[in-house]
Amino acid sequence: MSKKYPLIYCAIDTNDLQRAKDLTAQIAPVTGGIKLGLEFFNRFGPQGVESVMETAPDASYFLDLKFHDIPNTVAGAVRVISENLNPAYLNVHASGGQAMMEAAKAACASTTKLIAVTILTSLDDNDIKAIGYANTTGAQVKQLAALTQKAGLAGVVCSSHEIEALRESCGADFTLMVPGIRPAGADQTDQKRTMTPNQALKLGATHLVIGRPITAAPNPAEAAADILGSLS
């Protein structure tokens, strides 16, 4: 995996800017990838992201902002973020529809790969039925991934349990960014569809998103190195 698109993106989800910078400084040299999400972005904004990026300028960044709105609004948001912050990855919600995704793709800087969220890993079949989807989770993810590919995006965020089906239906070059990754014995917390790093890679994941098993460890850099070492 190239330096620009590393295997692991470590999720730095905190409301403490200095802690985010400290964690990034420790972890980025090991994993090469850092994910910043909504909690961080809503508290510190683009300036906070820039501050973290300055801590590890050579790292690859995934901004997990999950845009979902009318096409023009999402296109404008994607344009601003991709041009000003230049993350390696940025995402939208596939459930926003093909027109929204196409507008976002057209507005996205060429140096940023745009991907789409299918079904959140905190949801299972009972949850999506309550929302109103008639499909099972797996079928709905596959449908949304096909729509994402049709819209021209680089790939999707999906759970580990959909990797094999999506790799078969969407091909080898379709990016599969997989959260809900938990090393053996780790607490699942609020994730319902999880898998170990080795299992996810064997099924065809492109990137793994790992947060608390690294960031909550007494030595985050060592925890990241241990996970990477287990994949060799």
Q: Tens digit of pLDDT per residue, the chain (232 long)?
A: 445 799 999 999 899 999 999 999 999 999 999 999 999 999 999 999 999 999 999 999 999 999 999 999 999 999 999 999 999 999 999 999 999 999 999 999 999 999 999 998 888 899 999 999 999 999 999 999 999 999 999 999 998 999 999 999 999 999 999 998 978 655 545 444 468 899 899 999 999 999 999 999 999 999 999 999 988 6
E-state strands within 95-232: 113-117, 155-157, 175-178, 207-210
pLDDT of residue 13: 84
CATH architecture, domain defined by 8-231: Alpha-Beta Barrel (3.20)
E-state strands within the chain: 8-11, 32-37, 60-67, 89-93, 113-117, 155-157, 175-178, 207-210
Is 35 tagged catalytic?
no
* Token pair recorded at residue 185: 């014995």
- The per-residue b/e assignment along 142-165, b for 16 or more CB within 10 angstroms, e otherwise, is bebbebbbebebbbbbbbbbbbeb
pLDDT of residue 195: 81
pTM over 0.85: yes
CA distance 172 to 69: 30
Among candidate residues 195, 188, 177, the one with its CA nearest the CA of residue 66: 177
CA distance 215 to 14: 10
Residue 114, phi then psi, degrees to nearest 5: -95, 125
* Catalytic residue (one of 3, 21, 35, 66): 66
